[in-house]
């Protein structure tokens, strides 16, 4: 089992910190995931995830940086299933009600389709 913390960029330290707290509390590994567009690279995604870990945690144990390409919500759900995640930790973006109605959000799609608990971390 693992905790999956999905980050958009490396300044989402709150998401990484909360994911790490959950991982420590439940004795699980933490996977910090960044997803880049199909035109990006997995290496870039892994670098963003690694930087997020470095900025958020001093001396992490059992923490892995992961990267993927594609549409964020389906990739997060796929990675959570593949890694047998017990929690997905996200930092939802603020959108207007019209924006949510027209496009939906990654957070909403993950929440509605995840087979595990989804935890949202409010930014400062």
pTM greater than 0.85? yes
| pLDDT single digits (tens) 56-108 | 999 899 999 999 999 999 999 999 999 999 999 998 765 556 555 544 488 88
> Quick one: pLDDT at residue 91?
87
Angle among Cα 118, 81, 31 to the nearest 5 degrees reads 70
Helix (H) or strand (E) holding 54: helix 42-56
Sorted by where each begins, the domain ranges of the chain are: 2-106
CATH architecture under which domain 2-106 falls:
3-Layer(aba) Sandwich (3.40)
pLDDT over threshold 80, residue 6 = yes
> Quick one: pLDDT at residue 81?
97
| pLDDT single digits (tens) 20-51 | 999 999 999 999 999 999 999 999 999 999 99
Decide if 120 contacts 92 (C-beta within 8 A). Answer: yes
Helix (H) or strand (E) holding 3: strand 2-6
Decide if 115 contacts 81 (C-beta within 8 A). Answer: yes
> Quick one: pLDDT at residue 24?
96
> Quick one: pLDDT at residue 102?
44
| pLDDT single digits (tens) 98-118 | 555 544 488 889 999 999 999
* Residue ranges of E strands in the chain: 2-6, 29-36, 63-69, 85-90, 117-120
């Amino acid at each position: 089992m693992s905790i999956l913390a999905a980050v958009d960029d490396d300044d989402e330290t709150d998401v990484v910190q909360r994911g790490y707290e959950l991982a420590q509390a439940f004795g699980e590994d933490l996977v910090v995931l960044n997803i880049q567009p199909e035109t990006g690279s997995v290496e870039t995604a892994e670098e963003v995830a690694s930087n997020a870990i470095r900025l958020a945690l001093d001396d992490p144990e059992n923490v892995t940086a992961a990267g993927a390409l594609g549409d964020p919500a389906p990739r997060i759900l796929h990675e959570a299933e593949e890694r047998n995640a017990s929690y997905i930790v996200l930092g939802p973006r603020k959108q207007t009600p019209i924006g949510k109605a027209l496009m939906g959000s990654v957070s909403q799609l993950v929440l509605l389709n995840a087979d595990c608990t989804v935890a949202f971390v409010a930014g400062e």
